[in-house]
């Protein structure tokens, strides 16, 4: 049975850009995705490899200079929140290799190791794995049929739909 059928929180992996966009903008889909995590409406999965990338990207001097909302304090707060609320996966086996963008393997392998249903990303290399017209997508989907890679807007629609379904069944919002 899926998370939705059990009425439990959806397991999700956010890629680094969701965190970046969530911190540099006042509002928008990435901000809303981070808010879902902070309110514990989704269960965010994280690994040491992903956490290292988040820390590296969010503290790059060029980005800190470019985005006034991206401050060391906000990055530190995010990292503390991740440590407090995210589910850490200590061992992430390499089940998937992605020659097109090896840096994206960390997200897919984390999702596979933890049984996540979704990876939320704006990364074309990741999203193309869901587009059957793209090379390797059909094979990826056949091998990992329970994993969906979607953009933040689509993910927010799914979460909203799940809330409405849960309410309609007389359950409490999760």
Is residue 135 classed as helix, strand or coil in its secondary structure?
coil
Cβ–Cβ < 8 Å for 9, 162: no
Check residue 167 and give its pLDDT: 72
Q: Measure the CA–CA gap between 110 and 37, rounded to whole angstroms.
A: 17
| Residue boundaries of the structural domains of the chain | 3-166
Cβ–Cβ < 8 Å for 72, 55: no
Residues facing residue 43 across a β-bridge: 11
Distant-in-sequence contacts of 131-138, Cβ < 8 A, 24+ apart:
136/100
CA distances from 15 to 41, 61, 149, 167, 169 (A): 18, 20, 10, 29, 32
Judge whether residue 104 has pLDDT over 80.
yes
Return the sign of the alpha-carbon dihedral for residues 139, 98, 30, 26: negative
Question: pTM score, two decimals?
Answer: 0.90
- Kindly tell me the number of DSSP H helices and DSSP E strands found in the chain: 10, 5
Q: Name the nearest CA neighbour of 150 among 28, 12, 27.
A: 12
Return mean pLDDT, the chain: 92
Check residue 170 and give its pLDDT: 57
User: Which CATH number applies to 3-166?
Assistant: 3.40.50.1010
pLDDT in tens, 46-103: 999 999 999 999 999 999 999 999 999 999 999 999 999 999 999 999 999 999 999 9
């Amino acid at each position: 049975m899926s998370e939705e059928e059990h009425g439990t929180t959806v397991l999700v992996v956010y890629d680094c850009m969701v965190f970046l966009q969530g911190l540099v903008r006042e509002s928008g889909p990435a901000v809303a995705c981070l808010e879902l995590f902070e309110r514990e409406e989704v269960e965010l999965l994280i690994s040491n490899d992903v956490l290292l990338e988040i820390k590296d990207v969010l503290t790059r001097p060029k980005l800190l200079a470019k985005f006034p909302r991206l401050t060391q304090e906000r990055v530190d707060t995010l990292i503390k929140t991740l440590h407090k609320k995210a589910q850490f996966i200590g061992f992430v086996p390499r089940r998937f290799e992605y020659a097109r963008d090896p840096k994206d393997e960390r997200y897919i392998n984390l999702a596979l190791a933890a049984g996540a249903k979704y990876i939320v990303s704006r990364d074309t290399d990741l999203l193309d794995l869901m587009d059957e017209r793209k090379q390797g997508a059909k094979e990826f989907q056949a091998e990992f049929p329970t994993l969906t890679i979607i953009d933040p807007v689509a993910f927010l629609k799914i979460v909203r739909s799940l809330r409405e379904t849960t309410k309609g069944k007389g359950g409490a919002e999760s």
